[in-house]
Amino acid sequence: MVEHRLEDWLEEGYAGSFRTACLILGNRADAEEAVQDAFLRAWRFRDALTSVPSVKPWLYRVVVNSCYSKLRQEIPHRDHRAEDAELAERMASASASDPASSAERSEVAGVVLAALQRLPVSLRVPVVLRYYADLSERDIALAIGRRPGTVKSRLHEARRRLADDPDILLLGANGALDDPVEA
Amino acid sequence: MPTLDDEFLVTLLHDVGESFTIPPSGPSAVLRRVHRDDDESAGRRRGAGGAGHVGEGVEGADSGEPAPPSARTARRTVRSTVRSHRILTAAAVVLVLLVAAGSAAVLGSGAPTANRFGHSAGPATATPRSGFGVAHTPATTKVAGSGSTGSAAAVPAPATSAAPSISSAGTASKGATTENSPQLGADAVGQPARIEQTGSLDLSVARGAVSATVGKLDALAGDNNGFVATSQTHSGASGGAPSGTVTLEVPVASFSAALGEAESLGKVSQLTTNATDVTAQYVDLQSQITALEASRQQYLTIMTKASSIGDVLAVQAQLDSLQSQIQQLQGQLAVLGSETDYSKLAIGVSETAAPPHHRAAAAAPSGLAKAWHDSVHGFVAGTEGLIRIAGPALFALLCLGAALLGGQLFWRRLQRRNL
């Protein structure tokens, strides 16, 4: 039996899990709590790892579930203005740390993050897992408990919605995007 | 349809993701929490293995705080489950309410169903289950039988045991002198049951046999130690069909026999019997009379000691009032006794012939009219059937939907937990 070490898990997966949760939840504090819950839960059920093919999708599945729980419990009661303020502050700090090169990038990132948050959770999660966590469609299907075909169609729908997003279109019109839209 | 390029999205999301700085205390916080959780679990295991302190909570090794008691943990778990499965909880609540409403409806309609004498039900099912209540317990039995077979089942079974049942009450006679008179339980009022029984019977007889049947019914009353209360016969000279109506009053004990004999005189088109337990009312009247008589006796004693005319007149007024009340109650008691001594059986006799509307329908020469009539009748029947099944179908659909929803949520939860 493989001996698991929590320290190894954290070293390998904490950063990715945290940022994934940030992209899903759009909130740093919630993401930190969700990732803590996820690692605690994953550690409790580490025996189940013997029956799964690989650790990464399993861990992401736990993280995604934790994010779902967080969304169900916290988001309806949260003041969204606080999120916007946090996002603006984060962007400002990013610009301040590297003002010359990252100002435009931060603006794009802020707009994209906001557009991401406007997607429904069912579309947002596959997008984040696919394009940030680099999970395959099959692993995403495992992680969210859906069929690969469903994942594919959701990814397509998410890309379409993002391409239709007025802020993304505006970025494209301003030249921030280098012809990102494909027919 | 335009979509965003995959590579572009990868770059973009990585840029956005990388802009979130990793909290330096994040991994250590996870480690602390996991270690604390491990310690608490170990403590709980030790506590569970202790001397009967299962679920009482133990102290965490690191925090030094007592673990929450099992009841609080269970409450928290339930609250969390309810919060995270609002739809499932709502579905469960709706389901429970529906089941409760259905059960209440079934229970509510169960009593009269049990008391109803069915068309084809045998005597065993026709026997009502309701016991004698001290209060008024309407024990109504109705039959709309179309044949003699159905009506035979409606005849209350003769009382052969002391078990309190309305059917036995139906043959009860006045007082405790009759052997088959049902007795109340030891904790009851100590009185034989007083059952007021009435019946209504419609007989169809052969053409020209109405008068003869009415005569037989008169004789039947005499044979059963009863009498004819009213009797009417229409000869049919004025254009209508000959018919007759006879109201018999027979002793309660002879009611079943009289009913059976009357049924044998023709074809039964309708039979209704009604038995009402008036024991409580009867006993109440008796008690009131006893109390008033005791008061009257006391006033009489006072009267003998009255010294002045004013006292005598005052006592006399009270005595008059009491006497009036006693006589009034005794009258009511006598009426009630008479009603429970004798059962009333109203019998309508008519000649066997198609009902007027049937005759009109038969006389209609056009097959088109009949087809139209059948069509309308079929439409109404179909609509009624749809409405009748709509309720159960809706209930079944709701149950099915709730079960599917619950199953889906459970399956998803199971899948998430497994991985």
Cβ of A134 and B18 within 8 Å?
no
User: Which pLDDT score, from 0 to 100, does residue A50 have?
Assistant: 65
Nearest-CA distance from B69 to chain A in Å? 21
User: Which pLDDT score, from 0 to 100, does residue B365 have?
Assistant: 58
Q: CB contact, 8 Å: A104 with chain B? A: no
Cβ of B22 and A15 within 8 Å?
yes
Structure token pair of residue B278? 């008036």
Cβ of A128 and B13 within 8 Å?
yes
Proportion of chain A above pLDDT 70, given as a percent = 68
Distance CA A102, CA B323 (A): 112
Distance CA B28, CA B120 (A): 80
pLDDT in tens, chain B (419 residues): 566 677 778 887 887 888 788 888 878 888 888 878 777 777 766 665 544 443 333 333 333 334 444 565 566 666 666 666 677 778 788 888 888 887 787 776 554 443 433 333 333 333 333 333 333 334 333 333 333 333 333 333 333 333 333 333 343 333 333 334 444 444 445 567 788 888 888 888 888 888 888 888 888 888 888 888 888 888 776 667 788 888 988 888 888 888 888 888 888 888 888 888 888 888 889 999 999 999 989 888 888 888 888 888 888 898 999 999 999 999 998 888 888 888 888 999 888 765 555 555 555 557 888 889 889 999 999 999 999 889 889 999 999 999 999 998 888 777 665 54
Pick A130 or B144 by higher pLDDT. A130
Q: Which helix (H) or strand (E) holds A182?
A: strand A181-182
Q: Can you tell me the ipTM of this complex?
A: 0.79
Structure token pair of residue A116? 């991401």
Query: Degrees (nearest 5) of the Cα angle B371, B372, B375?
Result: 85
User: Which pLDDT score, from 0 to 100, does residue B291 have?
Assistant: 92
Q: How many other C-beta atoms lie within 10 A of the C-beta of residue A13?
A: 21
Structure token pair of residue B78? 């339930």
Mutate to test the interface with B, among A63, A74, A131, A156 (most CBs of B within 10 A): A131
A-chain residues within 8 Å CB-CB of B19? 90-91, 94, 106, 109
**Closest Cβ–Cβ partner in B2, B14, B419 for A132:** B14
B-chain residues within 8 Å CB-CB of A138? none
Contact B148, B271 (CB under 8 A): no
Distance CA A43, CA A37 (A): 10
- Under the banding of pLDDT at 50, 70 and 90, the label for residue A144 is confident
**Does pTM surpass 0.80?**
no
Q: CB contact, 8 Å: A144 with chain B? A: no
Distance CA B318, CA B320 (A): 5
Q: CB contact, 8 Å: A116 with chain B? A: yes
Contact A26, A83 (CB under 8 A): yes
**Closest Cβ–Cβ partner in A11, A105, A145 for B415:** A145
Domain architecture of chain A: domains with CATH: 1-78 (1.10.1740)
Structure token pair of residue A182? 């494909």
Name, in order, each residue with C-beta under 8 angstroms of B391's C-beta and a sequence gap of 6 or more: none
Closest CA to B21 of A18, A106, A165, A61: A18
Cβ of A22 and B17 within 8 Å?
yes
Burial class (CB in 10 A: 0-12, 13-18, 19+), B120: exposed
Tell me the per-residue pLDDT of A36-90, one tens digit each, with 9 for 90 and over: 888 888 887 777 666 666 677 778 888 888 888 888 775 555 555 455 555 555 5
CB pairs below 8 Å between A and B: how many? 139
User: Which pLDDT score, from 0 to 100, does residue B294 have?
Assistant: 92
The angle that helices B26-48 and A6-25 make with each other, rounded to 10 degrees, is 110
Contact A180, A172 (CB under 8 A): yes
A-chain residues within 8 Å CB-CB of B10? 131-132, 134
- φ and ψ of B93, to 5 deg: -65, -45
Q: Which helix (H) or strand (E) holds A51?
A: none
- φ and ψ of B410, to 5 deg: -60, -40
Cα-to-chain-centroid distance, residue B359:
40
Burial class (CB in 10 A: 0-12, 13-18, 19+), B207: exposed
Nearest-CA distance from A30 to chain B in Å? 12
Q: How many other C-beta atoms lie within 10 A of the C-beta of residue A71?
A: 19
Read off the pLDDT of each residue in A114-125 and give the average, rounded to a whole number. 88
Read off the pLDDT of each residue in A6-28 and give the average, rounded to a whole number. 83
**Closest Cβ–Cβ partner in A23, A163, A182 for B16:** A23
Closest-CA residue in chain A for B18?
A: A19
B-chain residues within 8 Å CB-CB of A177? 8
Q: Which helix (H) or strand (E) holds A104?
A: helix A99-118
A-chain residues within 8 Å CB-CB of B14? 131-132
User: Which pLDDT score, from 0 to 100, does residue B289 have?
Assistant: 92
